Structure 1
Amino acid sequence: MRSGNKLIYGLGIALFSTLLVACSASNSSQGNGSNGVQESSVKLNTESQFPIVAEGEELTLSIMAPGMGLAEWDDMQTLQDYMKQTGITTTYVTPPNADFPTKLNLAFAADDLTDIIYGAGSNTLTSAMEIDYGAQGILVALEDYITPEIMPNFTKLAEEDPNLLKSITTPDGHIYSLPFVPRNGTAIWYQQPMWYNGEWLDNLEVTELPKTTDELYDLLVRFRDEDPNGNGQKDEIPLTDVEMNGTRLWLMGAFGIKVKGIQEDDGVVSYTPISENYKAFLQYMNKLYSEGLLDKEVYSQSNDQKQAKGQKNQLGLFNDYYSFFTTGRTEKEALNDPLFQPLTSEVSTEAVIAGSPRLSRGAFALTHKNPSIEASLRWVDYFYSEEGAKYLEQGPEGVYWETATNKDGEEVRVYTPEVDLDDTESFRGKITPAYGLVTPNIVIDHEPIRKNADEEPDTTFIDWVVNETEEKMTPAAEVPFPLLYLTKEENDKVATNATDLATYTEEMEAKFITGVTSFDEWDKYVQTIESMGVEEYVATYQTAYDRWAAN
Structure 2
Amino acid sequence: MKLRNKLIFGLGILLFGTLLGACSSGSTTNGSDSGESKVKLNTESQFPIIADGEELTLSIMAPGMGLAEWKDMPTLQDYMKKTGITTTYNTPPNADFSTKLNLAFAANDLSDIIYGASSNALTSAMEIDYGAQGTLVALEEYITPEIMPNFTKLAEEDPAILKSITTPDGHIYSLPMIARNATAIWYQQPMWYNGEWLDALGVTELPKTTDELYDLLVRFRDEDPNGNGKNDEIPLTDVEMDGTRLWLMGAFGIKTRGIQENDGVVSYTPISENYKGFLQYMNKLYKEGLLDKEVYSQSGDQKKAKGQDNRLGLFNDYYSFFTTGRSEHEAMNDPLFQPLTSEYSKEAVIAGSPRLSRAAFAITKQNPSVEASLRWVDYFYSVEGIKYLEQGPEGVLWESAKNSAGEEVRVYTDQVDLNDTESFRGKITPAFGLVTPNIVVDNEGEYLIRKDANDEPDTAFNEWVAKETQEKMDPAAEVPFPLLYLTKEENDKVSANATDLSTYAKEMEAKFITGVTSFDEWDKYVKTIESMGVEDYVATYQAAYDRWAKN
What TM-score do the two structures reach when normalised by structure 1?
A: 0.94
The within-5 A match list for 1:271-290 is: 271-290=268-287
After the TM superposition, which of the residue ranges 217-226 and 416-425 deviates more from structure 2?
Answer: 416-425
The 1-side partners of 2:310 and 2:413 are apart by 39
Q: Is it true that 1:4 corresponds to 2:5 in the alignment?
A: yes
Change (3 A) 1:484 1:33: farther
Q: How far apart are 1:456 and its partner, in Å? A: 2.2
The 2-side partners of 1:33 and 1:294 are apart by 59
Residue 522 of structure 1 aligns with an amino acid whose one-letter code is: W
Q: Is it true that 1:451 corresponds to 2:446 in the alignment?
A: no
State the Cα deviation string for residues 98-136 of structure 1 (Å, max 9, x = none).
Answer: 222222111111111111111111100111111111000
After the TM superposition, which of the residue ranges 470-479 and 517-526 deviates more from structure 2?
Answer: 517-526
State the Cα deviation string for residues 159-193 of structure 1 (Å, max 9, x = none).
Answer: 12111001111111100001111211111110111
State the Cα deviation string for residues 202-239 of structure 1 (Å, max 9, x = none).
Answer: 11100000000010011111111111111111111111
The 2-side partners of 1:427 and 1:229 are apart by 38
Corresponding residue to 2:348 among 341, 351, 367: 351
Corresponding residue to 1:223 among 220, 225, 234: 220
Partner of 1:57: 54
The 1-side partners of 2:213 and 2:119 are apart by 37
Partner of 2:169: 172
Partner of 2:18: none
Residue 268 of structure 1 aligns with an amino acid whose one-letter code is: V
Q: Does the CA-based 8 Å contact 1:193-1:339 persist in structure 2?
A: yes
Q: How far apart are 1:524 and its partner, in Å? A: 1.2
Q: Does the CA-based 8 Å contact 1:38-1:371 persist in structure 2?
A: no
Change (3 A) 1:4 1:37: farther
Q: Does the CA-based 8 Å contact 1:35-1:141 persist in structure 2?
A: no
Q: How far apart are 1:38 and its partner, in Å? A: 2.2
The within-5 A match list for 1:473-488 is: 473-488=473-488
Q: How far apart are 1:362 and its partner, in Å? A: 0.9
Q: How many residues align?
A: 530
Q: Does the CA-based 8 Å contact 1:33-1:142 persist in structure 2?
A: no
Partner of 2:26: none
Q: How far apart are 1:33 and its partner, in Å? A: 11
Q: How far apart are 1:60 and its partner, in Å? A: 1.0
Q: How far apart are 1:253 and its partner, in Å? A: 0.2
Q: Does the CA-based 8 Å contact 1:9-1:159 persist in structure 2?
A: no
The 1-side partners of 2:508 and 2:549 are apart by 33
Residue 409 of structure 1 aligns with an amino acid whose one-letter code is: G
State the Cα deviation string for residues 23-50 of structure 1 (Å, max 9, x = none).
Answer: xxxxxxxxx9968562311111112111
The within-5 A match list for 1:93-492 is: 93-446=90-443, 447-452=446-451, 454-492=454-492
After the TM superposition, which of the residue ranges 133-142 and 156-165 deviates more from structure 2?
Answer: 156-165
Q: How far apart are 1:395 and its partner, in Å? A: 0.6
Identity of paired residues, percent? 82
Mind listing any 5+ residue stretches in structure 1 that lack a counterpart?
Answer: 11-31
What TM-score do the two structures reach when normalised by structure 2?
A: 0.94
The 2-side partners of 1:59 and 1:352 are apart by 51
Residue 53 of structure 1 aligns with an amino acid whose one-letter code is: I
Equivalent position SS for 1:375 = helix
Q: How far apart are 1:402 and its partner, in Å? A: 1.2
Residue 459 of structure 2 aligns with an amino acid whose one-letter code is: T
Q: Does the CA-based 8 Å contact 1:33-1:140 persist in structure 2?
A: no
Equivalent position SS for 1:4 = helix
Residue 449 of structure 1 aligns with an amino acid whose one-letter code is: L
The 1-side partners of 2:91 and 2:515 are apart by 50
State the Cα deviation string for residues 499-525 of structure 1 (Å, max 9, x = none).
Answer: 111111111111111112111211111
Which stretches of structure 1, 4 residues or more, deviate above 3 A after TM superposition?
A: 7-10, 32-37
Partner of 1:26: none
The 1-side partners of 2:44 and 2:389 are apart by 23
The 1-side partners of 2:326 and 2:449 are apart by 24
Q: Does the CA-based 8 Å contact 2:310-2:324 persist in structure 1?
A: yes
Q: How far apart are 1:9 and its partner, in Å? A: 6.3
After the TM superposition, which of the residue ranges 512-521 and 464-473 deviates more from structure 2?
Answer: 512-521
Q: Does the CA-based 8 Å contact 1:34-1:142 persist in structure 2?
A: no
Q: How far apart are 1:406 and its partner, in Å? A: 2.4
Equivalent position SS for 1:109 = helix
Residue 421 of structure 1 aligns with an amino acid whose one-letter code is: L
Equivalent position SS for 1:414 = strand
The 1-side partners of 2:62 and 2:249 are apart by 38
Change (3 A) 1:35 1:479: farther
State the Cα deviation string for residues 64-85 of structure 1 (Å, max 9, x = none).
Answer: 1111122111111111111111
The 1-side partners of 2:550 and 2:31 are apart by 25
The 2-side partners of 1:295 and 1:100 are apart by 37
Q: How far apart are 1:339 and its partner, in Å? A: 0.5
Equivalent position SS for 1:348 = coil
Q: Does the CA-based 8 Å contact 1:239-1:317 persist in structure 2?
A: yes
